[in-house]
Structure 1
Amino acid sequence: MRKLTLGIVVLVFLALMGCSKKENSSDNANLNDNPIESISSKEDQISDDDHDSIVNFGKAFVNLYTGAVAEQETVSFENYISNENLLKFTNKMLELEQKQELVGGIGVNFGLENEFKEAEYKKLDEDLYYLSLTFSNQGSGMSCKLLVQSDNKSINIVDLYFGNKDGVDTIATGHPAVRKLDNPKLWDDQTWVDGVFEKLEKI
């Protein structure tokens, strides 16, 4: 009788452990599966009808980034960013902000599911768009500015800026009052890029 009872207890314990692992893996899948492929356009340039696609693309990137900070996960931004310098910077910014988050050095709440307010959207050129997303997580307000460009029937982020107080990008790329997002070739300027990475090394 004791063996039977012990066997049932062990089976129940194993079943509960299995459920727990499944739930955890499901949470990670939400974060890891969040990247969406670059949204194709019917023509070489994005039309005004693709406003929602660009906004949703930006929101997916924000959720992926802030979710990765909160969950301390390594993720890929290659579905959003093709410029190697910007991709390298975004990966480094994520790494540093995850470290800040662990020691409570960030004054905002990061998470995977953010509440977005109305987006500011401007067409700057034939294939260039400015997107400003204001959002919050657990009552903590944040924003992300993106420069999005159409290229080979897809869209890519060519510049980005969260601009949080004491945030890595604020320290490395400039104060919100001076940091502009209007140059799609900014991350091709190696002198500027070298200066950014020099600042990153000091953080």
Structure 2
Amino acid sequence: MYHRTLHRVVATIAVLATGGLLTLAGPAGAATDSDGDGMPNRWEQRFGLNPQRANGAGDADHDGLRNLGEFRRSTDPQSEDTDGDGDDDGDEVHDGSSTTDPDDADTDEDGTLDGDEDADEDGVTNEDEDDTDETCVADDDDSDGDALADEDENDHGDDPADADSDDDGVDDGDEDSDEDGISDSTDDDDQDSDVDDDGQDDDDQGGDVCQDGDED
């Protein structure tokens, strides 16, 4: 009798271990990966990717970090700057710096956003440095459509989700913070009216900016 009872207890535990407890861990199919690209169906669907097409090597937001890398780092494959610090996800992953993290806006907790830091100490902030290598197709996001890139809104304390942050009737991108005659959206440096210190205001020199529809 004792052995029979013990056998039943052991059998019950085995059922719980292989059935009941595993069921509690998550519904069936929670980690299903139909296309075998390393990204679960549910995650792909959540971020607007196709779970029936292997697209782990793709880069939906053109931030330099592949979709599979976004999944592994818990970042948003549809946002080039998941943590909103001005530094693109791909740049934060590939810059080799321990002071940048694509999921932490102020990685070293010094009160300065990662995008405003200068990881390689060359006098150019992280967010401006990555722009020199970006093609127009990978140009910076503009969530509120005010012609001012999200990464630049924080320089003025603007809200990247509000086209007119100060409610003065002028879109943030059309403001002229340094009063040099060039709107913030096209100014090389909207905090400095004479970027190259040659005594000539930026508005007299022109510039090369990405136009809508350009890809290179």
- Give the structure-1-normalised TM-score: 0.30
Higher relative contact order (CA 8 A, sep 6+): 1
Give the helix-richer structure, 1 or 2.
1
User: Per residue, is there more strand in 1 or in 2?
Assistant: 1
Return the index of the structure with the highest Cα Rg. 2
TM-score (structure 2 length as normaliser): 0.28
